[in-house]
Amino acid sequence: MVAGEINPIPQTGITRVIGLLELLEARGGNEDGYRLAHDLNYPLSDMLNVMKAAEVLGFVATPSGDIVLEPLGKEFIESDINQRKELLRRRLKELGLFSYLVRLLRGQEDNSLDREIILSHLAMLLPNEDPESLFSTIVNWGRFAELFGYNKDQDRFYLDHE
């Protein structure tokens, strides 16, 4: 994935990625992805999404169906919660999609936009993706990293950490 290029992100929760990293660490940092899916009783498609998400974030490599914990993933696992949030926030800002959204929100007086506007941007940027699902994943990852927030009552998506 090229830095700055806007690509879709795997639609899975960040807690699943963290669980994968912790399990990999406990198993020596290297595991067969198919065996892991079987051991966890995960459908293979779910496991592949989690693996891809961890890979997009730079936490693992996935050669030939294996999952290998990368140094950044090991650093993440060995960090406390605040360090994890900071590390993830830095990684997200390096991804084209998140970088685009940060710039978009910074361009607003109150660093926020209505959900519908964000959905329309997502639909234009990634027309082959479901904008609702993508938005949910962005909010999930962004909230954990304290990069983005979403106020459901006001339907506002906002920049959380500046």
One digit per residue, the tens of pLDDT, for the chain of length 162 reads: 444 589 999 999 999 999 999 999 999 999 998 999 888 898 989 999 999 999 999 999 999 889 999 999 999 999 999 999 999 999 999 999 999 999 999 999 999 999 999 999 999 999 999 999 999 999 999 999 999 999 999 999 999 965
pLDDT of residue 3: 47
Q: What is the CATH number of domain 14-77?
A: 1.10.10.10
Compute the distance between CA of residue 142 and CA of residue 147 in angstroms, rounded to an integer.
5
Q: Spell out the domain ranges in the chain.
A: 14-77, 80-159
Query: In this structure, which amino acid lies at residue 109?
Result: E
Q: Model pTM?
A: 0.91
Compute the distance between CA of residue 108 and CA of residue 64 in angstroms, rounded to an integer.
44
pLDDT of residue 128: 95
Beta-bridge partner residues of 61 = 68
